[in-house]
Structure 1
Amino acid sequence: MGDRCGWCGEDPLYVSYHDEEWGVPEYDGRALWEKLILDGFQAGLSWITILRKRDAFRDAFEGFRPEVIAGWGEPEVARLLQNEGIIRHRGKIEATIGNAQAYLDMGGADVFADRMWGYVGGSPLINSFRTLSDVPPSTALSTQVSKDLKKAGFKFCGPTIVYAWMQACGLVNDHIVGCPARRV
Structure 2
Amino acid sequence: MAHPTYPLNTPRLLLRPVTVDDLDDVHAWQRRPDVVRWMRDAEPRTRAQSLASVAAMAGEDALRAEGDCLTLGAVAEGRVVGAVELVWRSAADRTAELGWVFHPDHGGRGLATEAAGALLDWGFGAFGLHRVIARCHADNEPSARLATRLGMRREARHVRSYRFRGGWADQFVYAVLADEWRTRPS
TM-score (norm 1): 0.26
Which one scores higher on RCO, CA 8 angstroms, separation ≥ 6? 1
Whichever structure has more helix as a proportion of its residues is: 1
